[in-house]
Amino acid sequence: MNQFEVARPLDELITVRDRGQPVENISCKGEDPVLASSFRLGRTAADVQLAIGIAVNDVWEVRTGRRQDLTVQVPQAAAALKSYTYLDLDRPEIKQQFVAQVGRQKISTPHPTKDGRYFLPHMGLPHLADRILTILGCDFELEAVQRAVAEWDALELEDAVAAASGCGAMVRSEAEWLAHPHGQLLASKAVIELEKIGDAPSQAFSADPARPLSGVRVLDLTRILAGPTCARTLAEHGADVLMVTAASLPQTSWFVLDTSHGKRTTFLDLKAPDERATLLALLADADVFSQGYRPGAMDKLGLSPEEMAAHRPGIIYTSMNCYGFDGPFADRAGWEQLAQTVTGIANEQGGDEPPRILPAAACDYLTGYLAAYGTLLAMHRRATEGGSWHVKASLCQSGMFLQRQGRVDYEQGIDIPTSVVDDIRLSTPTPYGQMTHLGPVLGMSETQPHWVHPSSPLGSHAPAWEVS
């Protein structure tokens, strides 16, 4: 047991908070299993939601002197780990795009290798598929990929894919990962890291706010699931979130629909000097700069944490990636499936059969929620002690966090009944049409989390902050 390995998820997260035990009334109803997995998906997700509520209360108390009661239901928290499956929209062309994405996922699963191991090639986006197919020398077709993977030793293929900036990983057991230098490094760190990266005076919040994050401005430079979930969570509590992306960046439209509630969205090409200058102008009035690129990518654009802290003293710079921020795998790109693959989750989920992926995007969504939790903690520290802060979260750390929470017995095929999420399922008018989707999971007694803006097509808004 390392110093961060404790009995319950909430206990470990309170240790990261480092402010003693919370004093608010907390209600958590339900228990695992709620999904077909031995991992405590529901309770882990529920405790992360409660930790977010505690951190929101820390900010609320600074602003108002009050704390709020918190509630969460375990099955609803588990549903939030696969919230895109509860989304419905009468747009056949968008649904068809997601069907194609699901088809790619059927290839992005563990396949046997020549040396008796398993390897997962991630082909969720076309450019990633091209890189791996070039190495394998085959077409994008399941049986062809399986035959080609079977010609390689797993570790040799992992190294070749990494060298080509592709995404793929050898399936490991949890014990193998914890014995690996990278796994050992991550195990020595907290699940969320908060690093002070610059001096700045304490920055008080405005008094008598309507909501906990009223007046807080967030630049969201993330895509797919983890990063957008972080910013979406901050929007639940009143933050002005401006999602910044480029029209040329590949996206998964169904995930954009799921994670864009509460945000406005604009196009800026950060490789164009004038558009990067627009971003820096926005940064001058921002509180949070959230990004999900692999380590080093933002440095090349002059947007490193230290440079952002110099431009805007007091900034909270939130970073998310797959493998963490140092160590032998730090420069590798990765996604949900790869975090499950290397940490041992897929190996264990398969049981006596071939490795399998969890019935939820647990690493992605947990990372987004944990990053939001860390961002909220940094807001409180900035308000009380000052400084610029770097918040670090990774999919592998989130997977290892899940592994530390013990196991339960479960039945194959169990799932969350739709009736369980009826209380938090919303029907929202959007620019796409009427959308049905999950609402916020966390309950708060005074400022119930909600989104002001509907999910909107990318690039729908001007690169400007809302008028206070």
Identify whether 127 is part of a domain.
Answer: no
Mean pLDDT for 270-275 is: 94
- Neighbouring CB atoms inside 10 A of 251's CB total 14
Identify whether 153 is part of a domain.
Answer: no
* pLDDT 10s digits, 110-157: 999 999 999 999 988 888 899 999 999 999 999 999 999 999 999 999
Identify whether 102 is part of a domain.
Answer: no
Identify whether 261 is part of a domain.
Answer: yes
Q: What is the pLDDT of residue 97?
A: 75
Identify whether 50 is part of a domain.
Answer: yes
Residue-number span of the structural domain to which 213 is assigned:
9-90+191-329+356-444
352 or 437: which carries more pLDDT confidence? 437
Identify whether 405 is part of a domain.
Answer: yes
Q: Rounded to two decimals, what is the model's pTM?
A: 0.96
The three-state (H, E, C) secondary structure of 356-391, written as one string? CCCCCCHHHHHHHHHHHHHHHHHHHHHHHHCCEEEE
User: Considering its fold, how many domains does the chain have in total?
Assistant: 1
3: pLDDT strictly greater than 60? no
Identify whether 339 is part of a domain.
Answer: no
Q: What is the pLDDT of residue 7?
A: 55
Mean pLDDT for 262-282 is: 96
Confidence grade of residue 2 (pLDDT, cut at 50, 70, 90):
very low
Cis ω on the peptide bond leading into residue 33 (within 30° of 0)?
Answer: yes
Identify whether 411 is part of a domain.
Answer: yes
Q: What is the CATH number of the domain that holds 395?
A: 3.40.50.10540
